[in-house]
Structure 1
Amino acid sequence: MFLSAIVKHAQINIDPITWEACKAGDRQAYASIYTAYYPRLYNYGHKFTVDTSLVEDSIQEIFTLFWIHRQKLEMVKELRSYLFVSFRNYLIKLLQQHRLIQSGTDIDDTAYAFALDISAEQQRINAEEVFAQQEQLQKGLQLLTPRQKEAVFLRFYENMPYEAIADMLQISVKATYKLIARAIAELRTTCRQPLTAALTLSALAALLGSMDLALQLSR
């Protein structure tokens, strides 16, 4: 079940024809992009705040601007990165205005929180068999800094390249590699209890919907 969910998520993609049609003013193409990315942005936004209205307002605003300025986006190389960067910047701006995170131009680990938890669904499945591992993983996640959590989420859940993550977090690509490597090392250290490989991969894949992350942590 988990692997099918992962594959389904990975298949969400906008082809170049749809992208070009949107820029040309095709509302159906625009709707396809909106439908594909709304739930992903919504999920991402709720890791910054539980305030649904702020998340929804941010999504609506960036999609409105996206449609208005669609013809000026010829230089956009990767649609997903563009939408995520635009959404993140606008949401953080709203959070600052509502004093839900610290104000300032530098958004670092002291300025905001990023929630990264084992899903409630996974906690209900095979509870007795994987409880110990889930508990370890949960503790490990809480030890990560907000920036580490966000980088892990973007890399292993959204499958973003390191270059795109670096742009989003406004750090170098080298620093991004180090950030994710340290997060994985921290999680590996926390998950010390020996468990079978099958249980390890099942629980870790369900953690973020990412078999890639499971393989990284099981090495």
Structure 2
Amino acid sequence: MLHIDAAVWEACQAGDKGAYAQIYRLYYPRLYNYGCKLTDNVVLIEDSIQEIFVRFWINREQLSAIREFRSYLFVSFRNYLFRLLSQSRELHADLPDEERYVFALELSAEQQQMAKEEEYQQHHMLRSALESLTPRQKEAIFFRFYENMEYDEIAAILQISVKATYKLMARAIEVLRNAYHTMPLVTAMMTFATLVAALGSVQLSAAITGTTLFPLPENFL
């Protein structure tokens, strides 16, 4: 389940703690997963999640829509986690900065183990392409293709304009497409199904192969 039921949302806003618990259980693993891509400090990740959910409960009546809540949650979590990381001297005090933090968007160990031996080179090239993206590009890819967010939501979380978000996404996809199309024997060995298995996202795989389910406006490319 990736979305909050409207009835649950309304009940939570009205003060129903059971509904609040449902929302917490839905978003806790998603925030935790996102936090693990920014740091391996589990304590700070968990502290940040707890803090922003306390704030959400206090401010729940001020949020007018479920979609607004999702952006609010990720923005609050990101900012609070960066603050804790800065205080713990894991990051510079003036973060967030595109070149001064790490975002670990990579193929999972399980996904890599699923690959056949003859596909090793293709997976290695794809992984290298992912690692070459800037932290902000990785975050944009994560939110768009793994969290299915719209560009305005991503822009709010990354605190940049929607136009800048389009450009960020276009450049990231271009890097991944170039890596994919230069792979040797790619049509024979790296099939679409294999690419999906490697990336864990049908939408991102489609974008890389040029059959994107999330088309980018031409004027932003």
Q: TM-score w.r.t. structure 2 length?
A: 0.88
Shift of 1:76: 6.7
Shift of 1:190: 1.9
Check if 1:189 corresponds to 2:178. yes
Shift of 1:205: 2.1
CA contact (8 A) 1:153 1:208 kept: no
> 1:7 aligns to what?
none
> 2:68 aligns to what?
78
Moved more, 74-83 or 174-183: 74-83
Check if 1:13 corresponds to 2:3. yes
1:135-154 alignment, distance < 5 Å: 135-154=124-143
Q: 1:86 to 1:208 in 2, by over 3 A?
A: farther
Alpha-carbon separation, structure 1, partners of 2:88 and 2:195: 35
- Deviation per CA, 1:63-122: give whole Å up to 9, x if none: 111112222323775222121111111111111111111111x52212211111101011
SS in 2 for 1:121: helix
> 1:99 aligns to what?
89
Q: 1:116 to 1:88 in 2, by over 3 A?
A: same
- Deviation per CA, 1:119-150: give whole Å up to 9, x if none: 10111113314322210111101111111111
Alpha-carbon separation, structure 2, partners of 1:214 and 1:68: 40
Q: 1:33 to 1:68 in 2, by over 3 A?
A: same
> 1:173 aligns to what?
162
> Which is bigger in relative contact order (C-alpha 8 A, separation at least 6)?
1
- Out of 172, 196, 202, the residue aligned to residue 211 of structure 1 is 202
Shift of 1:202: 2.8
CA contact (8 A) 1:62 1:83 kept: yes
Which amino acid in the other structure matches residue 82 of structure 2?
I
Alpha-carbon separation, structure 2, partners of 1:39 and 1:16: 20
SS in 1 for 2:98: coil
SS in 2 for 1:168: helix
- Deviation per CA, 1:10-65: give whole Å up to 9, x if none: x4210211111001111111011000010000000010000000101100111111
- Structure 2, unmatched stretches of 5+, are 211-221
1:118-133 alignment, distance < 5 Å: 118-133=107-122
- Structure 1, unmatched stretches of 5+, are 1-10
Aligned length: 208
> 2:145 aligns to what?
156
Percent identity of equivalent pairs: 55
Check if 1:47 corresponds to 2:53. no
Check if 1:111 corresponds to 2:100. yes
SS in 1 for 2:100: coil
Which amino acid in the other structure matches residue 102 of structure 2?
A
> 1:22 aligns to what?
12
Aligned-residue CA RMSD in angstroms?
1.7
Alpha-carbon separation, structure 2, partners of 1:68 and 1:165: 24
Which amino acid in the other structure matches residue 200 of structure 2?
G
Which amino acid in the other structure matches residue 31 of structure 2?
L
CA contact (8 A) 1:200 1:214 kept: no
Shift of 1:159: 0.7
